[in-house]
Amino acid sequence: MEKKALGDSGLEVTSVGIGCMMFGLMCDQDQTTAIVDAAIDEGVNFFDTADIYGGPHGKSEALLGKALGARRGDVIIGTKFGAGGRGAAEGGGSRDYIMQGVENSLELLGTDYIDLYQHHFPDPDTPLDETLRALEDLVQQGKVRHIGCSNYTGAMLDEAAQIATANGSHHYVTAQNRYSLLTRDIETDLVPVAERQNVGILPYFPLESGLLTGKYRKGQPLPEDSRFAKWGGGGGFASDPWFDIVEELVAYGDSIGRSVLDLAMGWLAAQPHVASVIAGVTKPEQVRSNVAAASWGPTPEQVAKIAGIAA
């Protein structure tokens, strides 16, 4: 599988990463280990988790760490701090929070360093300078190799770069935000700043919780074991306009011998500003499908056509 630069960190990550949000929620230890095994067999080297994934007490981190075992040094682990509920944790960007959070994550992951430590949500009550100085200390201590952010705006990313330059400290090498064929607002806000700073974009929800796999079709029953069925519908991931776009993608995919999944993953992986597409999975076969879908390499004309359908 193709590897791409993780910003200017010097690290290279596979074009598909494993999103570990469902570890502990929909996946127990055996299922998590099966997913990790399949990912490594497929050549995936990037796993993305967070201290709140999987339920309380960092369950996702613990399951991932155990599943990796002695292979920890063969992969790149990204985790996050500073989220609570549906947004920022109170004081989640403060020095105290960060220093305690990193120790918890290191213990749960069973490692003595984190490759990419990401601020999960901006903390409006803590000066960004405090956050960056705390993260710099962790880098100097060897507990963290590189730092990143998540859910920042372009203006926030710009401010962080200015502070890091003024302090002579490490800067964010990645920005993880919601990004898919159907959710593209970062293209006019965050992406231009990230490109200017050589910051790698890590899309989350690239398949809009399964809508862009093609398994959900307008007017058709929901698959019984699917997330949409368990939720009683697609929630915020489902709307008539989006289903209409999926139907157009199906038609175009049929014309070139590709699935909606191929179009969604291949288009994102082809974006020069995208370092790795973070796709959450609950089964090993989803890992294999995502890797194949991101590896087909659409032509520039196909990339433009796909983008136009979902403009």
Average of per-residue pLDDT across 201-215? 90
pLDDT of residue 57: 77
Domain that holds residue 78: 3-210+262-298
Catalytic member of 53, 97, 179, 216: 53
In CATH, what number is assigned to the domain containing residue 11?
Answer: 3.20.20.100
Residue 301 has pLDDT above 80, yes or no: yes
- pLDDT level of residue 305 (50, 70, 90 thresholds): very high
Amino acid at 126: T
**Residue 226 counted as domain residue:** no
Residue position matching structure tokens 């502070």 = 163
pLDDT of residue 140: 98
Q: Total domain count for the chain?
A: 1
Per-residue pLDDT of 2-42, as tens digits, reads 999 999 999 999 999 999 999 999 999 999 999 999 999 99
Q: Which of 50, 18, 54, 21 is nearest to 35 (CA)?
A: 18
Per-residue pLDDT of 71-110, as tens digits, reads 999 999 999 999 998 899 999 999 999 999 999 999 999 9
pTM of the model: 0.93
The mean predicted confidence, pLDDT, of the chain is 93
**Residue 253 counted as domain residue:** no
Burial of 11 from C-beta contacts in 10 A (0-12 / 13-18 / 19+): buried
**Secondary element (H or E) of residue 76:** strand 76-81
Residue 222 has pLDDT above 80, yes or no: no
Q: Note if 53 is an active site residue.
A: yes
Residue position matching structure tokens 């791409």 = 4
Per-residue pLDDT of 224-244, as tens digits, reads 665 555 555 555 666 778 889
- pLDDT level of residue 119 (50, 70, 90 thresholds): very high
Q: How far is CA 27 from the centre of its chain?
A: 18
Average of per-residue pLDDT across 256-263? 97
Long-range Cβ contacts of 129-132 (<8 Å, 24+ apart):
129/163, 129/167, 130/93, 130/94, 130/95, 131/93, 131/94, 131/95, 131/98, 132/160, 132/163, 132/164, 132/167, 132/169
CA distances in angstroms from 204 to 3, 71, 171, 184, listed in the order given: 18, 25, 21, 12
**Residue 232 counted as domain residue:** no
**Residue 143 counted as domain residue:** yes
**Residue 204 counted as domain residue:** yes
Q: What percent of the chain has pLDDT over 70?
A: 93
Q: What percent of the chain has pLDDT over 90?
A: 86
pLDDT of residue 209: 81
**Residue 227 counted as domain residue:** no
